Structure 1
Amino acid sequence: MVPNVIIFLCFLALCCAADLCNWTGSGFAAGLDSRIVLQVRLRCTEGSVRWVYPGQALRVVLEPNLSSSRRRSICIQPFPSSSGASVFIERAGALQPLLGPPGPPGPLQGAGGPERQVFCFRADGPHRPALYLQANPQADKPWSRRTMGFRYELLMGNRSDAPMGHRGLHASCRPCTDGELLMAMCNSDYVVRAHIKNVTHDSKRHTSSVEVSATRVYWQRSGVFEQQADPSLPSVSWHGHIRTLLQCHVKPGDGEFLFTGSEHFGEAWLGCAPRYKDFLSVYHKARTEHRNSCDFPLD
């Protein structure tokens, strides 16, 4: 049970490493004094927290250097080894339970199975939200070799407040309008020209996975699409998987598509995906009418 008043003692752990985005540290000394709460401050929009030898508690404040006051959301993906820990959001000194035994998660949006659980919450307001991790004293003995923690991402403004398809069925599954397509072409984390090789469905995660073979990767934020040699193609192709909601009932289709979307925690998520010939028609018309927001490299 979490006390109403928490005694915070600043503690610099031995054998720890930190930068502006990631933190790795030890809770070894927390087993000697139950009042110790390790303090961590991170300044990036994405990164990770790794807590080795989890002791009593860890407090993480995410405060990236942002000049914009647009709406913000934070998404976290706990490590599978964090099972049994409790996670809270601290707002203005009050703790709100988010994850931990017993019972279901608190006021977070969750997506994925037990090993890929992702939670998102709003980060607006005058107070910087802090994440508070508490080890389970019954499951964790001091000095036990275990790693707890999570990956995090900060979402801004025009990006979805709830990734992984939790924007609602209508917004996620309906075809994009011409205006949305032109914006997706400019603002997406990835834009690839590809054929669909296969579609598989995961009822546990409530998602579908579209396996694609891309002839052109125009850009991608990270390495979710990788090069590989395909004997059926005259040149080196790109291979990757794109996730979307199971409720969208995605089916394999012939022809070439222009896939756009966002990347979250090392996975590509589907945004707009018109057939390439249809995209060219929309783009050429917008360019003629001077409505395109950015230039696209045409073959």
Structure 2
Amino acid sequence: MHTETVVYFWPVVLSLIYVAEAGMIGDQCDWTGSGLTSSAERGVTPVYLRCREGTVSWLYPRGALRLLLRPPLPADERDFNVCLRVIRRPDPPEFFHDLHFNYTEKAERFPARIFVEGARKLIPLYAPDDGDPRELRCFRSKRGRAALYVEAEPEEGPKRRVATFKYEARPLITRHYDPATADCRPCSDSELELAFCTSDLVSRVLIVGSDQREDLDSTQLTLRLTKILRAPVLDVDTDDLAHDNDYYKYSVDNEVGGGSGTLAHVQVWRGCGAAAGAGEFVAMARRRLGRLALVCAPRLAHWRALARRRAPHDTHCALRH
């Protein structure tokens, strides 16, 4: 974020808030609305987001949105960190069968600018032409408050435009290992147990590839799932995944470790220097901003030994290997 740029029309924004359209106020995790329902092109629609994470989708954006984020946090955790990820093109499927795919479509222009609301000014957070390729941007609350001002770009004909982004609010002090704040150290045994019981995907894996995702500020690991241990996100038949999607072209199926099986993508903060490696691991990943983020990945031998020596009544859930 370019903090040297400051927008000085904040008093005008305040005055526009009072002409916001009634009936478009949200008080939820997700918000979906259309600029076509607004009669004032320069009106500001207030939206109240009361959850830790969610999605905002603004169809045919006109005027502006003012998003007030007040996530439910413990009383002793007043301030929090907010990250948002603008969606400029569909993500690849997280679970698939062919190892390689090609990006065949350019990212669309995000039709809005996003500012963090300060005491007397708006601070730029994201703009389509700000020269920063990252679609992921973060900022901190001030005195327990965080608000965003989302300004629609001028309309260019009848083309369908959608400004969609995902947001996530996290306390500044984390109570257990967290991929958003981790320092790339290995998980302790107690963190492994908690991650196993609370992750969205837990599977024995082979790490068969790694790619830098500049847009997500991450390293994307490609995992071959050899034995799924916990996966509430896998409640669909992986054979029905969109292999014929016009955007993702699968072409090569490299067999690794004796079978093709199911593959998955997980994200790791790129500062950790994660890469493909030999051996079998137990990958534990949580969904974050629409993608799976790696939490812990012990070697199978270490996890197996830990799971065997832990008594069931001493763990958060039944540990499997």
Residues 75-112 of structure 1 deviation map (CA, whole Å, 9 limit, x = unaligned): 2111325535221111446422211265456xxxxxxx
**Counterpart residue number, 2:80:** 72
Opposite residue 265 of structure 2, the aligned amino acid is H
Bigger RCO (CA 8 Å, 6+ sep): 2
Contact 2:60-2:161 at 8 Å conserved across structures: yes
**Counterpart residue number, 2:112:** 85
Question: Does residue 1:122 correspond to 2:118, yes or no?
Answer: no
Inter-partner Cα distance in structure 1 for 2:125 and 2:303: 42
Question: Does residue 1:151 correspond to 2:197, yes or no?
Answer: no
Question: Does residue 1:276 correspond to 2:300, yes or no?
Answer: yes
Inter-partner Cα distance in structure 2 for 1:97 and 1:240: 35
- Displacement of 1:225 in angstroms is 9.3
Contact 1:62-1:129 at 8 Å conserved across structures: yes
Structure 2 CA distance for partners of 1:223 and 1:89, relative to 1, 3 Å: farther
**Counterpart residue number, 1:260:** 284
Structure 2 CA distance for partners of 1:155 and 1:294, relative to 1, 3 Å: same
* Percent of aligned positions that are identical: 27
Residues 36-67 of structure 1 deviation map (CA, whole Å, 9 limit, x = unaligned): 11111122222211222222211111223445
Contact 2:229-2:320 at 8 Å conserved across structures: no
Question: Does residue 1:296 correspond to 2:313, yes or no?
Answer: no
Contact 2:268-2:293 at 8 Å conserved across structures: yes
Question: Does residue 1:3 correspond to 2:9, yes or no?
Answer: yes
Inter-partner Cα distance in structure 1 for 2:29 and 2:214: 31
Contact 1:89-1:131 at 8 Å conserved across structures: yes
Instruction: Compute the RMSD of aligned alpha carbons.
Output: 3.9
Inter-partner Cα distance in structure 2 for 1:83 and 1:76: 13
- Displacement of 1:294 in angstroms is 2.2
**Residues matched between the structures, number:** 274
Q: Which runs of 5+ in 1 are unaligned?
A: 106-112
SS of alignment partner, residue 277 of structure 2: coil
Question: Does residue 1:62 correspond to 2:69, yes or no?
Answer: yes
Inter-partner Cα distance in structure 2 for 1:200 and 1:227: 22
Q: Which runs of 5+ in 2 are unaligned?
A: 1-6, 89-107, 241-252
Opposite residue 120 of structure 1, the aligned amino acid is C
Residues 7-37 of structure 1 deviation map (CA, whole Å, 9 limit, x = unaligned): 1123136xx7967222222223657453x11
Opposite residue 218 of structure 1, the aligned amino acid is L
Inter-partner Cα distance in structure 1 for 2:205 and 2:129: 45
Q: 1:250 aligns with which of 260, 268, 275?
A: 275
**Counterpart residue number, 1:181:** 192
Opposite residue 277 of structure 2, the aligned amino acid is P
- Displacement of 1:160 in angstroms is 7.1
- Displacement of 1:278 in angstroms is 1.3
SS of alignment partner, residue 296 of structure 2: coil
TM-score, with normalisation over the residues of structure 1?
0.73
Structure 2 CA distance for partners of 1:207 and 1:232, relative to 1, 3 Å: closer
SS of alignment partner, residue 253 of structure 1: strand
Contact 1:261-1:268 at 8 Å conserved across structures: yes
Structure 2 CA distance for partners of 1:93 and 1:40, relative to 1, 3 Å: farther
Inter-partner Cα distance in structure 2 for 1:162 and 1:82: 29
